[in-house]
Amino acid sequence: MNKFIYYPLILLFMITVFTQMINIGSLDFDYEGSQEQGLEGSQTLNAETSTLELESGSLSLDYTLSTGIIIIIVSAIALGLIGLNVFGSGLSSFSVKIIWNGIVFYGLWLIFSVTGFNFFSSIPHYVGAVFWIGLTLVYSLGVFGKMGSGGD
């Protein structure tokens, strides 16, 4: 067990859970007695947006160019990883290990960093940013150590 990987990751995971618990308290789940919700209004479909308007509000799913690019990049990375492991690539096993560990460990770090962003941004005077950078540096030391080690 590499403590430079797991301790910062566990700490960031706990911060993420704490942040989500705080945010869920601010959601409003009021119910106002109506059992039916008619689909009155309109549905707009075009190349960029899809909007469903109801009598008590609307639901808008906007897919912009940046969202599409992110989806394509994530899909390409996932298919590339599957291809590296299933079909092979001509790369050495050490190179495949570096690619695999880098994407998996930094993917987890990115997910927890994004979901815990509200916590770090709520700490004044850049203390939250300095704390996150420190955690990231310790985590990176652990990931680089794992990549350079002979064993898994």
pLDDT at res. 4: 92
Q: DSSP assignment of the chain, as one string? A: --HHHHHHHHHHHHHHHHHHHHHHTT------S-------S-EEE-SSEEEEEETTEEEEEE--HHHHHHHHHHHHHHHHHHHHHHT--S--HHHHHHHHHHHHHHHHHHHHHHHTHHHHHHSTTTHHHHHHHHHHHHHHHHHHHHHHSS--
Rounded to 5 degrees, what are φ and ψ at 61? -115, 100
pLDDT at res. 142: 93
Mean pLDDT, consecutive 10-residue stretches, the chain (152 aa), reads: 89 91 64 52 53 62 68 81 75 81 88 88 90 95 83 52
Torsion of CA 88, 90, 93, 95, to 10 degrees: -110
What pTM value is reported for the model?
A: 0.63
pLDDT at res. 114: 87
Q: Which amino acid is at 27?
A: L
pLDDT at res. 8: 94
